[in-house]
Amino acid sequence: MRDARSRVRRPIGLRLWLSGGWITLLIIGAVLAPLIAPHDPLYQDLFAGRMPPVWVDGADPNFLLGTDSLGRDVLSRILYGARLALTVALVAGTLTCLIGATLGLIAGYYRGWVDMVISRLVDIWMAFPPVLFAILLIAVLGTGLTSIIIAIVVIDWTRFARVVRAEAMTQGTMDYVASAQVVGRTKAGTMFAEILPNVLPTIVALLTLEMGIAVIVEAILSFVNLSISTDAPTWGGMIAEGRTSVHQAWWVLVFPLITLFLTVLSFSQLGEGLKDYFDPVLR
Amino acid sequence: MSFLEVENLTLRIARGPRILRAVSLGVDQGEVRGLVGESGAGKSMIGKAILGTLPRAIQVVSGRISLDGTDLQTLPARERRRRIGAQVALIPQDPLTALNPVRRVGPQITNRLVDILGWDRSRAEARARELLDEVHIPDPDRVMRSYPHELSGGMRQRILIASAFAAEPKLIIADEPTTALDVTVQKQILRLIKEMQDRHNTALLFVTHDLGVVSKICQSLTVLYAGKVIEDTDTRSFFAAPGHPYSQALLHATPKYTDPEDSLTPVPQHVIDAVEAEVTDFDKGLGA
């Protein structure tokens, strides 16, 4: 009676390679920005303004991705912008995840009045338009890295709470949870030992998705100039500047936009890929 | 005095209908009692009430459950949990949801021994290996390292049986343990449960809707309808001559191996009306 369903090692798919690769590249770029950035991202040279990227006629080989209207190097600014974007993604994403997932887990497993309170809070929260809410929060808190992170956490914890609650509810009805309690496990013990590991793949997927969303929110806030100080390079700020001169110098808009797009896409794909990879049950 | 005594147990959904109506039953050590009834008759709820895993929406209105002469209600919550955990085990209905999918099988069996009996891990593991061998699982070491999804339904049910008997409980509640399995596997699993029960001399409450199964392994049985005990008798006299018209009808609705051509008769309407009337009378008597 040999069971054919023995361990199957799943290969790391193309999706994981590509998305993970891009994020890794970005993290290296951000960490090493002071070493590898070809120019000071704030240095202005009005005589070298709107230089096209190297492969276009009339380019200066010193500026790989060209310069903006003030003569600042686009590549260096993207690299430095990545520092802010990734800090926000990691810190805000993790905090949002911790708060939202904890509340969702408790609501979904304990049910009763705790669930009532948390769920109504989520419903009320979701009725606010998120971007306006963020702008409002920044207006109250003032600009700066901490404010951006707080704004994202305050807005987005509901995403985790709702999904994790639903998942914890389904797991909570399974027989193995009842068995754990018959054996004498406490309620909290069961939640951490039995439910949490089953919800973890979902949390991982949501976490990386949230990191992508955090990058977008940060870009939106810097687009409307509500991010950190105005002269620091941010992707959203670069997009806002590039928009005004898109007919003369498309590269100022396009490169940060592509970076932003790839980053958000990679985060969400990374999450899906990791979820599939780590979930022991092929659902 | 039986090992398990359930007396006048009445359950209801909060602000809703009754689920069990003054149910009394007992299971002796070494006895196998069948608990039969239609879907929704409250069979599983009795098991859940004994194990203390009733859904929160269900209230205990009245009744006593005692194990080995001790009324569980009189014990403080902690002690009650400990005692149930040590003396009662469950063989669940669905082996697919009864093992935690993200944890290896071995620890899920040994945890019970470590948590309840306070054994050290290596002793518990040796015992688990022994038990898996007892339920005829080849290569127990490999199985203990496996995740549940790597094993077939029948294997998982064997593991759950092993795990139920692990802490040498006095009473096992088997909640339709073969319903989720393939017909060909059902027979093996039934035989295995009976074999284990014989060897360990456990009291077994066997919840099922299959009278064929009852006739094979149970010494006594309780017939339930709408949460009310319709008949409580020993198997031999039940199959010889059921006492209640509903039981007779139920027996007629069961296929016979001896006469497969015999057409099945559904439970006739007048019998259903009669038991329904009994249930209503009972509720009236309680003033609800």
**Which B residues 132-161 touch A at CB under 8 Å?**
138, 146-147, 149-152, 155
Burial of A250 (0-12, 13-18, 19+ CB in 10 A): middle
- Total domain count for chain B? 1
The closest CB to that of A280, out of B85, B93, B101, belongs to B101
Chain position carrying tokens 């290569």: B139
Test B152 with A184 for CB contact under 8 angstroms. Answer: no
The closest CB to that of A175, out of B52, B97, B112, belongs to B97
Average pLDDT score over residue span B183-200 = 89
Q: Are B106 and B163 in contact (CB under 8 A)?
A: no
- Residue pLDDT, tens place only, A241-278: 888 888 888 888 999 999 999 999 999 999 888 887 77
- Is B79 a domain residue? no
> What's the pTM?
0.78
- Residue pLDDT, tens place only, A137-169: 888 988 888 988 999 999 899 999 999 999 999
Q: Are B245 and B271 in contact (CB under 8 A)?
A: yes
pLDDT above 70: percentage of residues in chain B = 98
Write out the residue range of the structural domain in which residue B240 sits: 29-58+86-285
Q: What is the pLDDT of residue A3?
A: 47
- Is B195 a domain residue? yes
ipTM above 0.85 for this complex: no
| Residue B254's pLDDT band (cuts 50, 70, 90) | confident
Classify strands B18-27 and B171-175 as parallel, antiparallel or unpaired: unpaired
- Residue pLDDT, tens place only, B208-228: 988 888 988 999 999 999 888
Q: What is the pLDDT of residue A8?
A: 53
Q: Across chain B, what does the average pLDDT equal?
A: 87
Q: How many helices (H) and strands (E) does chain B have?
A: 11, 10
Residue A1 pLDDT more than 70? no
- Residue pLDDT, tens place only, A3-18: 444 445 566 778 889 9
Q: What is the pLDDT of residue A19?
A: 92
Chain position carrying tokens 């688990």: B128
Which of chain B's residues have a Cβ under 8 Å away from the Cβ of A200? 102
Tokens of B167: 């802490």
Q: Are A176 and A193 in contact (CB under 8 A)?
A: no
Q: Across chain A, what does the average pLDDT equal?
A: 86
Test B152 with A3 for CB contact under 8 angstroms. Answer: yes
Count CB neighbours of B61 within 10 A: 17
| Residue A123's pLDDT band (cuts 50, 70, 90) | very high
Q: Rounded to whole angstroms, how far apart are CA atoms A19 and A264?
A: 10
Residue A2 pLDDT more than 80? no
More confident position, A136 or A231: A136
| Distance between A103 CA and the closest CA of chain B, angstroms | 20
Q: Rounded to whole angstroms, how far apart are CA atoms B83 and B97?
A: 25
Chain B interface disruption, residue of A183, A187, A191, A277, most B CBs within 10 A: A183
Give A51's DSSP letter: P
Q: How far is CA B229 from the centre of its chain?
A: 16
| Distance between B150 CA and the closest CA of chain A, angstroms | 5
| Distance between B169 CA and the closest CA of chain A, angstroms | 11
- Residue pLDDT, tens place only, A87-107: 999 999 999 999 999 999 999
- Is B182 a domain residue? yes
Residue B283 pLDDT more than 50? yes
Q: What is the pLDDT of residue A88?
A: 92
More confident position, B185 or A195: A195
B1 touches chain A (CB under 8 A): no
More confident position, A182 or B44: B44
The type of residue at A263 is T
Q: Rounded to whole angstroms, how far apart are CA atoms A25 and A131?
A: 29
- Residue pLDDT, tens place only, A48-61: 778 888 888 877 78
Test B92 with A282 for CB contact under 8 angstroms. Answer: no
Q: What is the pLDDT of residue A230?
A: 64
Q: Are A239 and A223 in contact (CB under 8 A)?
A: yes
CA distances from A7 to A281, B33, B143, B146, B207 (A): 11, 40, 11, 8, 35
- Is B133 a domain residue? yes
Domains of chain A: 14-278 (1.10.3720.10)
Test B98 with A198 for CB contact under 8 angstroms. Answer: no
**Which SS3 state, helix, strand or coil, does residue B112 take?**
helix
Q: Are A67 and A48 in contact (CB under 8 A)?
A: yes
Indicate which CATH number applies to the domain containing B185.
3.40.50.300
Which of chain A's residues have a Cβ under 8 Å away from the Cβ of B151? 3, 5
Q: Rounded to whole angstroms, how far apart are CA atoms A252 and B176?
A: 68
